[in-house]
Amino acid sequence: MSWNAFDNGKSIGQHGSEGGIIIRDEEHRDGARITLERDGHNAPLAITWGIYGWMCHTRFFGTEPEAQREFETMRAELSKIVSTIPIATDPESRAVSDSLSEFVRRFP
């Protein structure tokens, strides 16, 4: 499995980047993280994801079923993206940037 509990699950119940309580937090072995938190500053639920060294993005949701469903969908798409990330000097870096832009457009 490419995804594992971030920090061995120690972040669950802690405050997240949006000021809410973390209820799911996973890290991809190739350098990505996705976090779901409840009762944050801006919305009832938020998903924050990042690809280390590339970018970070947050989405907001009104219901937990919607947020959980989107967490699964986004996690699968992030797996595809991180598998394409080349070393920094590789010309394919542009393809990764384009994939990230498309991801943000698809998941605003």
**Whether residue 19 has pLDDT greater than 70:** yes
Mean pLDDT of the chain: 90
Q: Both tokens of residue 60?
A: 């907001």
Residue 3: pLDDT band (50, 70, 90) is very high
pTM: 0.81
Strands across the sheet with 3-5, in order? 3-5, 21-28, 32-38, 45-51, 55-61
- SS3 assignment, position 88: coil
Give the C-alpha separation, 83 to 72, whole Å.
Answer: 17
In degrees and rounded to multiples of 5, residue 44 shows phi and psi of -60, -35
pLDDT in tens, 63-103: 999 999 999 999 999 999 888 876 555 556 677 778 888 88
Residue type, 94: R
pLDDT at 91: 55
pLDDT in tens, 40-74: 999 999 999 999 888 899 999 999 999 999 999 99
SS (H, E, C) 17-63: CCCCEEEEEEEECCCEEEEEEECCCCCCEEEEEEECCCEEEEEEECC
The ranges assigned to domains in the chain are 3-106
